Homo-oligomer: A and B are copies of this chain.
Amino acid sequence: MRAEILTIGDEILIGQITNTNSVWIAQELNLLGIKVVHMSSVSDDKEAIIKAFDDAATRAEFVFITGGLGPTKDDITKKTFAEYFNTILEIDERVLNTVKGFFERRNRELTEINRQQALVPKGCIVIENKNGTAPGMWMKKGNTVFISMPGVPYEMKSMMSELILPKIKSENKLPHIYHKTVLTQGLGESFLAEKIEKWEDALAENNIKLAYLPQPGIVRLRLSTFGENSEVLKSVIENEIEKLRKIIPEYIYGYENYGEDQPGLEKIVSELLRERKLRVSLAESCTGGYIASLFTSLAGSSDIFNGSIVPYQNQIKHELLHVDAALFETVGAVSKECVIQMANETRKKFHTDYAIATSGIAGPAGGTAEKPVGTVWVAVASPEKTIALKFLFGDNRQRNIQMTANAALNMLRKIILKQE
């Protein structure tokens, strides 16, 4: 099964945005065992689009098209789509109802431009857009299925994951593929590679491919294999993961099964807290609200999260969290003493079982010889005790914030599981 990915829109061609949609679609298709043979980006121009459709039909059974479906004038994909299939555009009543509902819920008037969002080529299979007003369209010509989707990433992704990929899977016999990703925190890519070198070398004998997928503070190890029997594939992979667990038990914080979203550490920690009916609060100096925003990005977070204080000045650390003011003169705010006081007071103030406190030099300025940029202290207070650890990350502000968050969340995870 071969696929092609086509992106429509001038913003790609002038280099204004990076084509992340194509990367995501390619990854998803690859996981299904569908081979991507070509990617292209064309302008919002009828002739260019038709030529790209014609070319794609010679190469692939599936053409995934993103972009050019918005209500504004620069978007001509839909008209061109109808023309390519020798058909007309007509209002789809279900889409029209969705669009109407979308505007009603917002108490806003439905304009003629919005109504036109419900136009689709006659004869196409309409793919529902649960997150926006532009529907997806599925049409076949010869042996090739053309699937047109909006360019807005979260609209496209939910359409693909929930509707299009399941439809393709149910209608086609695809090879069995099995993936599982081991989530690790606390070891950089090259150190991890050294630790697991022998295990990695032996994977090839079992026809298993390994990919290192690094993120700040985290390395995801994706194992994948394919073959005839999915049960066999699964047991081969699980067997290797069991071996890996014995080599690096302290760095593994979770797993990601195929088709599931990657569970962030905040999600794994939230679930541990929820199962145990426990709660957490935060005092975030160097992470500046980032950990709070991770927790609260999850639906239902108020079940486990009571709140946070971002004390971005020493005076605030003293007044709101009762950090001893003398301490700023002696050991400074980036110190074990400071994060321990912050964590303990936060745990009390927010009436929670646990509290995390962070304080560090995120950079790019503020470093000294003794405490260079990237120096971070993290404390976790629990009903039994408060522990604090020092880290030395790198030069990049955003990465330092993310690495601190992941280190802090993994400390909390281990304390909850009493593995610290």
**Interface residue ranges, A against B (CB under 8 Å):** 10-20, 22-30, 35-43, 48, 55, 70-74, 102, 105-108, 111, 113-114, 131, 152, 154, 179, 188-191, 193-194, 200, 209-214, 222, 224, 282, 284, 287-293, 295-297, 299-302, 305-313, 315-316, 319-320, 349-351, 362-365, 372, 374, 392-399, 401
Is the CB–CB distance between B11 and A15 below 8 Å? no
Is the CB–CB distance between B394 and A106 below 8 Å? yes
Cα separation A154 to B395 with both chains bound (whole Å):
13
Whole-angstrom distance between the Cβ of A375 and the nearest chain B Cβ: 11
Chain B neighbourhood of A24, CB < 8 A: 15
Is the CB–CB distance between B296 and A307 below 8 Å? no
Is the CB–CB distance between A193 and B15 below 8 Å? no
Is the CB–CB distance between A396 and B108 below 8 Å? no
Pairs A-B, 6 closest by C-beta atoms: A288-B296, A289-B292, A15-B26, A15-B27, A289-B289, A40-B40
Whole-angstrom distance between the Cβ of A309 and the nearest chain B Cβ: 6
Is the CB–CB distance between B305 and A312 below 8 Å? yes
Query: Do A288 and B295 contact each other (CB < 8 Å), given the known contacts A22-B19, A39-B40?
Result: yes
Whole-angstrom distance between the Cβ of A390 and the nearest chain B Cβ: 11
Chain B neighbourhood of A392, CB < 8 A: 105-107
Is the CB–CB distance between B12 and A39 below 8 Å? yes
Whole-angstrom distance between the Cβ of A176 and the nearest chain B Cβ: 15
- Beyond the given A14-B36, A71-B193, A310-B310, could you list 19 further A-B residue pairs with CB under 8 A, ordered by the A residue number? A10-B209, A12-B26, A14-B26, A14-B30, A15-B29, A15-B30, A16-B213, A19-B23, A38-B40, A55-B55, A105-B374, A106-B394, A107-B392, A108-B188, A287-B296, A297-B398, A299-B397, A302-B312, A316-B350
Whole-angstrom distance between the Cβ of A367 and the nearest chain B Cβ: 10
Whole-angstrom distance between the Cβ of A282 and the nearest chain B Cβ: 8
Is the CB–CB distance between A288 and B297 below 8 Å? yes
Chain B neighbourhood of A179, CB < 8 A: 14
Q: Name the CB-closest residue of B to A305.
A: B312
Query: Do A297 and B397 contact each other (CB < 8 Å), given the known contacts A11-B211, A41-B40, A108-B191?
Result: yes
Query: Do A114 and B350 contact each other (CB < 8 Å), given the known contacts A38-B41, A309-B309?
Result: no
Chain B neighbourhood of A30, CB < 8 A: 14-15
Query: Do A39 and B41 contact each other (CB < 8 Å), given the known contacts A309-B309, A363-B299, A364-B299?
Result: yes
Is the CB–CB distance between B297 and A394 below 8 Å? no
Chain B neighbourhood of A38, CB < 8 A: 13, 40-43, 48
Chain B neighbourhood of A29, CB < 8 A: 15
Is the CB–CB distance between A37 and B26 below 8 Å? no
Interface centre among A13, A25, A102 (most CB of B within 10 A): A13
Cα separation A410 to B364 with both chains bound (whole Å):
27
